[in-house]
Structure 1
C-alpha cells in the first residue's frame, strides 16, 4: 500500500486553463481582486508603467470593455485615458461634482436637469460651500450674464428632462470659456446618436448607461469621460473614494445591449415622432411635446443643433390634473408605469410623483410640469399598437 498524495485544498483556485482560442462573447469576470507577480510589479501598475487590475472598486475588465465601446460612440479624445464606468448615472454625476469642485467654487447650471441632479445641486453642494447659479438653458443672454462672474463649472443637458427643452449649447460653451470653467454635458437623453458633446467643446461628458445605451432595464450603470488625463485622474480618484463601483455583471449586460443601440434608437426615434403627432390630434391632450414638432418652442434650435435627430422621448399634458393622470396610467395597462427610460418597451412616467417630486409645486409649475404631465420613453413596438393604446388611455382620462 502506497501513501496517497495529499488532496489539493478546494480553497486554492486552479489556474485558468491554457487555450489558443478566444471567446466570441465577452466573459464576465466578477473577481474582486487580482494577484500581482510581486510588489515591484504592483508598483509598476499603479505608476502607469504597465496595465493591469488590482481591486474591482478601482476598475475591472468588464468596466473597461464597456467604457471603451462608449468612448468610441462619444468620440472621447485620444490621450485622455478613456471613460470610466460607475455604479449608476448619479454615481457619475456625483464623482464629477464632488471630485472636481471645492468649497468656494461656483457652478453655472441649467435650471432644467434630471431631478436628482437638481437635488444634489440645491441641497447637498451648498452644504459644502459650493454656490450654484441656475439659468434658463434656452436663454443665451442668461448664459452670458451668468458667465460675467467666474465659475469652476458649467453644467447642462442638451435636451432637458422631462420637459424636452433644447438648450442653447453654443451659449453654454461660450459661457464656460468666458467664466473659465469646465463644460460638463449630461448626454443621457440625446445620446451620441443625436449629438456628441466632445465635438462641440465639452470638457466632460456623462451618461446614465442604465437608460438608452444599455436599453433593457436590467443594468444600473453610469459613465463619464474627460477631455484631459488630468481631469480623468481626478474622476477616477473620486470614484474610488465614493465607492461608485460598476458591477461586472451589469457591465456585461450593458455591453450586450449596446450592440443593438443604433438599431433600437432609430426605431424608437421614428416611433416617437409619429406618436407625438398622434397625441396632438387627441381631444384629451392639452399639448404634445417633441422637439421635432413645429409647435415646440425650441424647434428651430433643435433643427440646427440636432440635425433631425430629435430623440426617443415624448411628453404631453393631459387636460386636467392628478385624477386624469391616474386614469390614463390605469387605462394604459400594457404600458409599464415606471420611472426610467430607454427600454425596448415604451415606459410611462409622471414627473410630479417621481423624478421631480422633490421640487415644490411652484418649482414644477415654473417648468411647465403640471399634475397632468406625462413623460413617455418610446420603445420599439409597432407604432399602430402604440397609437391605439394611447388613444384608449387618453379617452379614459377624459371621462374622469
Structure 2
C-alpha cells in the first residue's frame, strides 16, 4: 500500500486531507479526479513480476486511492475498503477461531447483532452484550478467551458515548483487540485510533459517501499484521467494492468536513427543539447538557454529529403513524445522506433483535431515530411538529 499522506504536506488539517490525501492527478492525462479503473485484470511484463496490480479483486488503483484517503483521515497507517460495512465487520470476526469470545455493546446496530448471533454464533463463537458505558460491566464480561471488544460511539440508536481510551485499556489488559465502529461520528468528529483503539470500522455508505448512492465499508488500523490479515480475507472472500463505488466514496470525502459541520449544527438545534416538545419524553443526543455522557463527548469528539433519537409515550402503531407521515423527513433505513431520514428502530433497523431483549436494552416501541440532513432547520422542525401532532393524541411530557 502506498503512503496514505501522498500529495499532502506534513501536519495538514483534516479539511485538506479529505480532498488530497492518497490521491494525485492522473499521470497520463492530468485528470484531477482519481479515474474509475474499470478493469478486471492488468497487464504483466513477465509471469510473477509485480507491477502493483494484477486482478481487481486483489487490488485496484481507484480502491487504493480510497483506502489511503480514509486511512489518512483516521490518522491510521493502513486502510482496506470492502463491499459494505457488514463485510468489514465480518472480516474482523474472521480473525478468530471457534471458541473465541466477543464482548459488544447491548445497543449495537441491529445488523451487527444479527451477524454476531445468527451467523458467527453457529461457528461456536460466543458473544456477550453489555452496557459499554459501564466500565465495571465490561470488565466483568471479559473472559480468558475474549478476543475482541466491539464498541460503537455514539451507539446506534441510543447515542450513548463510550470512553474509547478506557475500553481499549480494558481490552488490552485481557490481551484482546478493541474495535470501534466510527460510522456515526466519522473521522471529522472523532478518531478512535488516537484513543487507543486497534481497529476502526466504517460503513462508507453513510456519512463518508454522504449522498445515499453507494454501499461500501472500511477497516483502518496502525497494525501492519492486522492489515495483512484484512487484505487476505478481503481478497480470499472477494468482499471488495467496485471501482465506481470507490470513486463515489472519494467524491464524498472531499465534502465531508462542510457536510458534517451542517449536520452537527442542525442536529443540535433539532435536539434542543425536541427536548422542549410536550409529546417527547426523552431525547438522545450527546450535544445536550442533559445527556449522561455529555462531558465525555465534549472531550472525545470535535462536534456532536447529525444523528439523534427521541422517545414518544406512544404505542408501536402511533409511533409508526408519526414516522409514516413526514414530508421533509423521508421514511427510510440507513443514514448520513444530505437528506433527512426518519425510522422506527423496533420495526426497521433493529427488528432482528427479539422484542424482550430490545426492550431490556432500552429500545422502546416509541423510539424514533433520525438522521438529520442539511435542509433548513425550520423546515425540519415544522415537519416533525406536524407529524407528531397528527400521530400522537394527548401525549404530554412529564
TM norm structure 2: 0.89
CA distance in 1, matches of 2:393, 2:136: 44
Equivalent-residue separation in structure 2 for 1:140 and 1:290 (angstroms): 21
**Residue in 2 that maps onto 1:22:** 30
Answer whether contact 1:148 1:178 (CA < 8 A) is retained.
no
Is residue 93 from structure 1 mapped to residue 89 from structure 2 by the alignment? yes
> What is the match of residue 11 of structure 1?
none
Structure 1 residue 348 displacement after superposition: 0.7
RMSD over aligned CA atoms reads 1.7
The within-5 A match list for 1:357-368 is 357-368=351-362
CA contact (8 A) 1:143 1:171 kept: no
Q: Does 1:149 align with 2:144?
A: yes
What's the secondary structure of 2:59's corresponding residue? coil
Query: Residues of 2 paired with 1:394 and 1:261: CA distance?
Result: 31
1:387 to 381, 387, 390: 381
1:124 deviates by: 1.9
The answer to whether 1:57 aligns with 2:57 is: yes
Match for residue 112 of structure 2 among 97, 110, 117: 117
In structure 1, the residue matched to 2:74 is 74
- Does residue 288 of the first structure (1) align with residue 283 of the second (2)? yes
CA distance in 2, matches of 1:20, 1:176: 48
Conserved in 2, the CA contact under 8 Å of 1:264 and 1:380? yes
Q: Distance in 2 between matches of 1:206 and 1:340?
A: 16
In structure 2, the CA distance between the partners of 1:170 and 1:142, relative to structure 1 (3 Å rule), is: farther
Distance apart, 1:265 and its partner CA:
0.3
1:220 and 1:27 map into 2 onto residues whose CA distance is: 19
- Distance in 2 (CA, whole Å) between partners of 1:321 and 1:295 is 25
- The change in CA–CA distance for 1:262 and 1:19 in structure 2 (over 3 A counts) is closer
Return the offset for 1:328: 1.2
**Does structure 1 residue 38 correspond to structure 2 residue 42?**
no
TM-score, structure 1 length as denominator?
A: 0.88
Tell me the SS of whatever aligns to 2:127: strand
Question: In the alignment, does 2:346 pair up with 1:352?
Answer: yes
The list of structure 1 runs, each at least 4 consecutive aligned residues, that deviate by more than 6 angstroms after superposition, is none
Between 1:149-158 and 1:311-320, the stretch displaced more is 149-158
* Alpha-carbon displacement from aligned partner over 1:44-85 (angstroms, at most 9, x marks no partner): x2xxxxx511111122111111111111110013xxxx2111
Q: Partner of 1:140 in structure 2? A: 135
CA separation of 1:91 and 1:257: change in aligned 2, threshold 3 A? same
122-131 or 205-214, larger mean C-alpha shift: 122-131
Quick one: structure 1 residues 102 and 150, their matched pair in 2 at CA, closer, same or farther if it must change by over 3 Å? closer
- What is the aligned partner in structure 1 of residue 228 from structure 2? 233
Q: Which residue of 2 aligns with 1:104?
A: 99
How far off its partner does 1:258 sit?
A: 1.2
Q: 1:374: which partner in 2?
A: 368
Distance change >3 Å, CA 152–CA 334, structure 1 → 2:
same
User: Quick check: which has more Rg, 1 or 2?
Assistant: 1
- Partner Cα distance (1:127, 1:366) in 2: 24
Residue from 295, 304, 308 that aligns with 1:310: 304
SS in 1 for 2:219: strand
- 1:325-340 mapped onto 2 (5 Å cutoff): 325-340=319-334
CA distance in 2, matches of 1:164, 1:55: 41
Cα contact 2:312–2:367 (8 A) shared by 1? yes
Alpha-carbon distance between aligned partners in 2 of 1:366 and 1:159, rounded to the nearest angstrom: 19
1:200-215 aligned within 5 A:
200-215=195-210
In the superposition, relative to structure 1, how do residues 386 and 180 fare at CA in structure 2: closer, same or farther (>3 Å)?
same
CA distance in 2, matches of 1:155, 1:253: 28
Out of 150-159 and 298-307, give the one that drifted further. Answer: 298-307
CA distance in structure 2 between the aligned counterparts of 1:225 and 1:170, rounded to whole angstroms: 17
Note the residue ranges of structure 1 that are not aligned, 5 or more in a row.
1-17, 46-50
Q: Deviations over 1:227-261 (max 9, x none)?
A: 22111111111112222110111111111111100
Residue aligning to 1:6: none
Distance apart, 1:289 and its partner CA: 1.4
Q: Is the 1:209–1:220 Cα contact (8 Å) retained in structure 2? A: yes
Instruction: Tell me how many residue pairs correspond in the alignment.
Output: 369
Asked whether the equivalents of residues 272 and 311 of structure 1 are also in contact (C-alpha less than 8 Å), the reply is yes
Aligned to 2:193: 198
